[in-house]
Structure 1
Amino acid sequence: MSIFFESNFLIYASGALIALAGSFLGVFVISRKMALVSDALSHVALPGVGIALLLGIDIFWGALAFLMTSLFLVNKIKSKTRLSEETLVGIIFTFSIAIGVLLLPGEELLESLFGDIDALGQNDFWIILAGAILIIIFSFKFFREFSLVSFSEDWARIQKINVPFMNFLFFSLLALSVAIGIKLIGALLMSSLLIIPAAASLNISRNFFQTTIISVIFGVVGMIAGLYFTSIFPAIPSGPAVVLVEILFFGLSFLFKK
């Protein structure tokens, strides 16, 4: 392994990429009033992590596979019932928590929930990089469509937008963001990157574009600051440290609220 990847660059770059992708998507999560859904989706990854550990494969693939399978089931069941996506995700969420606790030993369960900065390797960086690039590319490509669907699905349909496809694509990108972040900050706290930076940004921004930019800044800076705090106090898991910094930003945003 080169000196480049032996340095702290690996950790900080991975964290910045995860925060960039998560806080970008978070603006749409908040606009859709889906904060609790994104939180539930983060926990759905746990059974996938357990299965991956049993099979001896990277937990990213297990988490992503289980998340995508869950999204497929939600869409299938939704077409046969009047229940909302939020309700179905909530049901799968409780099922996932139960299975995750059964499959994961105590120590590995804690690592999956709160992250383990020491577990990050070079292969993880490339996975995170590829995942973040895909999220940003699709988010930019369908920025208009995501924005319209977020504000009004009926208006989006009038504009000839395929709303079901956009919803599935958006949830898929959310699933990918959770999967790439689970090793560094954990499933329990990954949802914080989808919620807190965007919520703080809404307090001080004037328009949707500005909200997106400020959310990304809060997300990336908060991530790097949290990881730095963890490097000073190794006993503190990376996930909680990052969340505390993001909460600080959220609190400070009220001082500059428009």
Structure 2
Amino acid sequence: MLELFQYDFLQRAVIVSALLAIVMPMIGIVIVNKNISVIGDALSHTALAGVIFGLIIGINPMISTIIVCLLASILIEFLRKNFPGHSSISATIVMSFSIGLASVLTDFVKVGTNLEAFLFGSIVAVGKNDLYIVLALSVLVFIFSLYFYKDLQHISFDESSARVFNINVDLVNFIFTILTAITIAIASRTIGVMIVSSMLIIPVACSIQLKMSYFKTIIASSIFGFIFMILALFISFYFNLKPGGTTVILATLTLIIITLYKNK
């Protein structure tokens, strides 16, 4: 197995997996606690539109995806303020618009373009420039998540209580949505835009079954996420499978096993 590390693309894929395993649980645990997985779905569909837009105008799809996801996150927050008490409506509207936009943009993609690599991930898709982008933005997400750690923890359980403690809930929610957009955008290249949101949720769900503290749940989620992605990379390499789909299958099976064992 170790001889596989002689391949540059696999080395980059492992590094990206490690970076994503660190930052995704910091976002995913808030999504799970706030029960707003629809935002992850909305931004993952937006990522598809971003990828297609980048292919059309001829720029790095990761850059276009980041830009489009950031714009979508701002739109989600704008709509959420206009629909108080109905936060899921804004995400659903953005998701519907993104799906429609992506379907229209596909008519302008050059014939022969391999969209499957973006839809379901590819271990050979991570180039050197992509690695640098993922590294820089992962560090950015990690720093902001760490800086707002207590605030994010507080609003993830009770926003009303957070306001009592003078936490600027609107600002923290806005920053969180931005961080979610960045995380999904940089993860979509390896995992795939159609299933990236599931990797924000499933490792956290596995950890929650272990009934640990908030911090330990994040650590356990990182370990789960890293194991899932690394195993999926090697399995997909040997059996020529899509790494994103393989990752989600492994994660889901693990969650089922943990749940069955816990119930027993």
> Match for 2:184: what amino acid?
V
- Looking at structure 2, the residues matched to 131 and 244 of structure 1 have their Cα atoms a distance apart, in angstroms, of 27
Task: Report the TM-score, using the length of structure 1 for normalisation.
Answer: 0.92
Deviation at 1:90, TM superposition (A): 0.6
- Looking at structure 2, the residues matched to 140 and 253 of structure 1 have their Cα atoms a distance apart, in angstroms, of 29
Match of 2:121 in 1: 115
Moved more, 64-73 or 237-246: 64-73
Deviation at 1:7, TM superposition (A): 5.8
Deviation at 1:107, TM superposition (A): 5.1
Task: Report the TM-score, using the length of structure 2 for normalisation.
Answer: 0.90
| 1:12-33 Cα deviation digits (max 9, x unpaired) | 1112212321123111111111
Q: 1:243 aligns with which of 236, 245, 248?
A: 248
Which consecutive residues of structure 1, in runs of 5 or more, have no partner in the other structure? none
Aligned-residue identity in percent: 32
Question: Is residue 48–residue 65 contact of structure 2 (8 Å, CA) maintained in 1?
Answer: yes
Which consecutive residues of structure 2, in runs of 5 or more, have no partner in the other structure? none
> Match for 1:165: what amino acid?
L
Q: 2:231 aligns with which of 220, 225, 250?
A: 225
Deviation at 1:40, TM superposition (A): 2.2
Match of 2:191 in 1: 185
Change (3 A) 1:157 1:237: same
Q: How many aligned positions are there?
A: 255
| 1:22-59 Cα deviation digits (max 9, x unpaired) | 12311111111112321222111122112111121111
Moved more, 168-177 or 6-15: 6-15
Query: Does residue 15 of the first structure (1) align with residue 17 of the second (2)?
Result: yes
Moved more, 140-149 or 15-24: 15-24
Change (3 A) 1:98 1:110: farther
Question: Is residue 112–residue 186 contact of structure 1 (8 Å, CA) maintained in 2?
Answer: yes
Q: Any residues of structure 2 matched to 1:45-56 within 5 Å, and which?
A: 45-56=47-58
SS in 2 for 1:75: helix
Deviation at 1:257, TM superposition (A): 3.0
Query: Does residue 211 of the first structure (1) align with residue 217 of the second (2)?
Result: yes
Change (3 A) 1:133 1:174: same
Change (3 A) 1:143 1:257: farther
> Match for 2:118: what amino acid?
S
- Looking at structure 2, the residues matched to 254 and 77 of structure 1 have their Cα atoms a distance apart, in angstroms, of 37
Query: Does residue 173 of the first structure (1) align with residue 179 of the second (2)?
Result: yes
